[in-house]
């Protein structure tokens, strides 16, 4: 994840053309005297796309004659730094570090936080209906509601499997693990469905937590894991799984999940095996509130955007993160990652500001900085920018990068100080 090159600041001094030209979708903004009423910027979803867009917008210089109101809506009361969610399960990190409350993060800003679920976006009326009965009008809207884990495709998943996408998922899983660990169950048999980043990171984290009592298997429908990863990271992941005796089922589909068993389909053979816990980390789908929007959607339901991140045909609406089907200025399709959502947030904030202050909008340019994975306790792998490292060094590098990426300087300092103090406290406690 990277801070955009400084060209943006330099651009802020250029005044934009005063006309709309169709092919670049720029806005002819009203003259200063007409904009006493605040421009209402409404951001739906306080994740990597939405929260960082709000924070960037609040840092922009707004002309007094063009006041803005920035409203951030989320159904949770906290931002979740998803790449560090595993560390909640392992106990290496605490909730306040990984999931800081919005009220704390936004305390020193002019951003209004509304905790509510988004029920409907009425594009014609330029308003959003929330599940607490409120209606929010907007002049600019940011869709950043992320995605959900699809659970409908296989019977029993909804009732018996555990997802791992939200803070509530992490708490629920933690509770289940505690229940199993305090039972007389030995071994504790866990099936993790989905051999992507989340599946592998979860498998290593749980294996280190359960140690000898854990019997883990990772199930994936493909013949290789992490197809889109670098060979270095793929090899490091394979090694970490084998070091932890995690069994891997390749080319295997799930037929059904039940309370204490899972049915695996390999070629035309189906085996039902007993399990104590099934984790479901398969894929991502767009929420129905987004799918039902009268805009252009991909087969996956993602919203098609221009390179400026505006929704096709709706220049007043921006769509970013997992719910957006986005090609950047170089024509590359961008993946659904935090890294992308974070970089899009910078451009979205700029383009909203530019569209309201007579400046040129910018096409999004994605900079792929590589990838990092946690592979259990004090172990990780990372490759990108010509660097490939794994083990403990990669673990520290990953932690430092994520510390730097936490939403606000205040939170970075609080967490950073805690990371320095905690080992000292533990040492003193062990000596006393």
Ligand X SMILES: Cc1cc2nc3c(=O)[nH]c(=O)nc-3n(C[C@H](O)[C@H](O)[C@H](O)COP(=O)(O)OP(=O)(O)OC[C@H]3O[C@@H](n4cnc5c(N)ncnc54)[C@H](O)[C@@H]3O)c2cc1C
Residues lying near ligand X in the complex (CB under 6 A): 45-50, 73-76, 82-83, 85, 117-118, 144-146, 164-165, 198, 287, 289, 321-322, 336-339, 341
| CA dist., res. 185 & res. 275, Å (int) | 11
Joined tokens for residue 260 = 């204490």
- The residue among 99, 137, 132 whose CA lies nearest residue 121 is 137
Nearer to ligand X, 27 or 197 (CB): 197
Nearer to ligand X, 47 or 214 (CB): 47
Query: Could you identify the residue written with the tokens 């555990």?
Result: 162
Nearer to ligand X, 117 or 360 (CB): 117
Nearer to ligand X, 26 or 234 (CB): 234
Residues 149, 94 contacting (CB under 8 angstroms)? no
Nearer to ligand X, 258 or 287 (CB): 287
Beta bridge partners of 71: 42, 112
Q: At closest approach, how far in Å is the CB of 86 from ligand X?
A: 7
Q: Which residues contact 295 (CB under 8 A, 6 or more apart)?
A: 123, 303, 304, 311, 312, 313, 314, 317
Nearer to ligand X, 355 or 381 (CB): 381
Give φ, ψ of 5 to 5 degrees: -55, 155
Joined tokens for residue 261 = 């068993």
Q: At closest approach, how far in Å is the CB of 393 from ligand X?
A: 17
| Cis upstream peptide for 170 (omega within 30°) | no
Q: At closest approach, how far in Å is the CB of 332 from ligand X?
A: 16
Nearer to ligand X, 190 or 341 (CB): 341
> Nearest residue by C-beta to ligand X?
47
Angle at 56 between CA 51 and CA 61, to 5 degrees: 145
| CA dist., res. 28 & res. 19, Å (int) | 5
DSSP-derived pairing of the beta strands 285-286 and 147-148: antiparallel
Q: Give the E-state strand segments of 242-337 in sequence order.
A: 247-249, 252-257, 261-266, 269-274, 277-280, 285-286, 303-304, 310-311, 314-319, 324-325
Q: Give the E-state strand segments of 38-186 in sequence order.
A: 39-44, 68-74, 111-115, 118-122, 127-130, 135-137, 140-143, 147-148
Nearer to ligand X, 220 or 322 (CB): 322
Q: At closest approach, how far in Å is the CB of 363 from ligand X?
A: 19
Label residues 202-220 b or e (16+ Cβ within 10 Å = b): bbbbbbbbbeeebbbbbbb
Q: At closest approach, how far in Å is the CB of 147 from ligand X?
A: 7
Label residues 34-61 b or e (16+ Cβ within 10 Å = b): ebeeebbbbbbbbbbbbbbbbbbbbebe
Segment (H or E) for 371: strand 371-374
Nearer to ligand X, 143 or 254 (CB): 143
| CA dist., res. 324 & res. 341, Å (int) | 10
Q: At closest approach, how far in Å is the CB of 327 from ligand X?
A: 17
Nearer to ligand X, 83 or 214 (CB): 83
Q: At closest approach, how far in Å is the CB of 30 from ligand X?
A: 30
Q: At closest approach, how far in Å is the CB of 324 from ligand X?
A: 8
Nearer to ligand X, 317 or 338 (CB): 338
Q: At closest approach, how far in Å is the CB of 430 from ligand X?
A: 32
SS3 208: helix
Query: Could you identify the residue written with the tokens 């899983």?
Result: 173
Q: At closest approach, how far in Å is the CB of 165 from ligand X?
A: 4
Q: At closest approach, how far in Å is the CB of 113 from ligand X?
A: 11
């Amino acid at each position: 994840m990277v801070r955009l090159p400084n060209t943006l600041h330099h651009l802020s001094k250029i005044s934009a053309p005063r006309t709309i030209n169709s092919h670049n979708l720029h806005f002819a903004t009203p003259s200063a005297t007409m904009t006493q009423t605040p421009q209402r910027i409404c951001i739906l979803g306080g994740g990597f796309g939405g929260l960082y867009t709000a924070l960037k917008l609040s840092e922009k210089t707004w002309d007094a004659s063009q006041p803005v109101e920035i409203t951030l809506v989320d159904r949770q009361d906290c931002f979740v730094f998803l790449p560090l969610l595993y560390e909640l399960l392992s106990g290496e990190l605490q909730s306040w570090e990984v999931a800081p409350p919005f009220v704390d993060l936004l305390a020193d800003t002019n951003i209004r936080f509304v905790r509510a679920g988004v029920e409907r976006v009425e594009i014609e009326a330029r308003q959003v209906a929330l599940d607490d009965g409120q209606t929010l009008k907007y002049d600019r809207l940011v869709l950043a509601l992320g995605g959900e884990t699809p659970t409908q495709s296989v019977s029993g998943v909804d009732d018996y499997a555990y997802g791992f996408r939200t803070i509530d998922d992490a708490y629920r899983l933690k509770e289940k693990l505690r229940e199993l660990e305090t039972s007389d169950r030995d071994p504790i048999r866990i099936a993790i469905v989905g051999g992507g980043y989340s599946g592998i990171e979860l498998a290593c984290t749980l294996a280190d937590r359960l140690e000898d009592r854990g019997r883990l298997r990772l199930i994936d429908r493909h013949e290789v894991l992490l197809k889109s990863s670098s060979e270095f990271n793929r090899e490091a992941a394979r090694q970490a799984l084998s070091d932890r005796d995690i069994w891997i089922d390749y080319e295997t589909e799930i037929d059904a999940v039940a309370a204490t068993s899972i049915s695996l389909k390999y070629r035309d053979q189906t085996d039902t095996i007993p399990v104590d816990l099934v984790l479901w980390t398969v894929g991502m789908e767009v929420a129905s509130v987004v799918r039902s929007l009268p805009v252009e959607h991909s087969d996956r339901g993602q919203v098609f955007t221009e390179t400026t991140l505006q929704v096709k045909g709706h220049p007043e609406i921006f769509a970013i993160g997992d719910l957006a089907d986005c090609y950047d200025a170089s024509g590359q399709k961008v993946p659904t990652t935090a890294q992308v959502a974070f970089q899009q947030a910078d451009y979205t904030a700029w383009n909203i500001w530019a569209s309201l202050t007579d400046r040129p909008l910018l096409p999004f340019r994605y900079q792929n900085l590589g990838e990092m994975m946690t592979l259990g306790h004090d172990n990780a792998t990372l490759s990108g920018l010509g660097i490939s490292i794994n083990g403990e060094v990669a673990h520290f590098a990953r932690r430092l990068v994520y510390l730097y990426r936490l939403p606000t300087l205040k939170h970075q300092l609080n967490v950073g100080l805690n990371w320095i103090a905690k080992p000292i406290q533990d040492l003193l406690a062990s000596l006393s």
